[in-house]
Amino acid sequence: MVDNAQDEAGGALDPSTHHRWSEPFQKFAAWLKEAQESEPNDPNGMALATVGPDGMPSVRMVLLKDWDEQGFVFYTNFDSKKGTQILSSKKAAMVLHWKSLRRQIRVEGQVEVVSDKEADDYYHSRPRSSQLGAWASIQSRPMQNRFDLEKRVALFTAKHPIGTIPRPPYWSGLRIKPSYIEFWEDRPFRLHDRLTFTPAPGVDWGQAWVMAKLYP
């Protein structure tokens, strides 16, 4: 599928190297749909990698909550370790791995904060207990015992017994805007398939991809 966008000189993009911006996202949608039918738990679970100011990488599992051709969205407390690292570097990487399908998708890119409306809409779609939890948890901070957390849950439950619970100002969504997407699929004798997409040079971001196949 060749993109019909124009390069900076006004000519048509080379059909041998440039592909529609939607192409990797269509593949992503197909793979995720299959995973939702085969994975027993959290098919949207992803490993999220960040880096600290000392250059030390850090990785943890989170849930992918939304995605489109602009990027991949997850939510977090901005005061958490991942939140502070991402807001400092504005970069992150993620991997979705589906053991039942023997597939994985890697994404790398710059990170932006989602709009207040996006964050509010998602926050208020969560169970009320999860909304209260976002207030109660001082994420990534030391905690003496479980009772400390339970006291804070009780405190905010009493503070918001009924009605709408406002979204905490430090809690929102982050969108990874992809500069690299890789689809990996298991093949016999470890001769796996690897297909990559990177934004095409010479055109605006979001116009076209360059596709490549990699040795396993």
Contact 171, 75 (CB under 8 A): yes
Buried b / exposed e along 48-84 (16+ C-beta atoms within 10 A): bbbbeeeeeeeeeebebbbbeebbbbbbbbbebbbbb
Structure tokens at 81: 């370790």
Catalytic residues: 190
Beta strands in 38-102 (DSSP E): 45-51, 57-63, 66-68, 71-77, 91-98
DSSP label of 203: S
Residue 65's nearest CA partner among 32, 106, 20, 105 is: 32
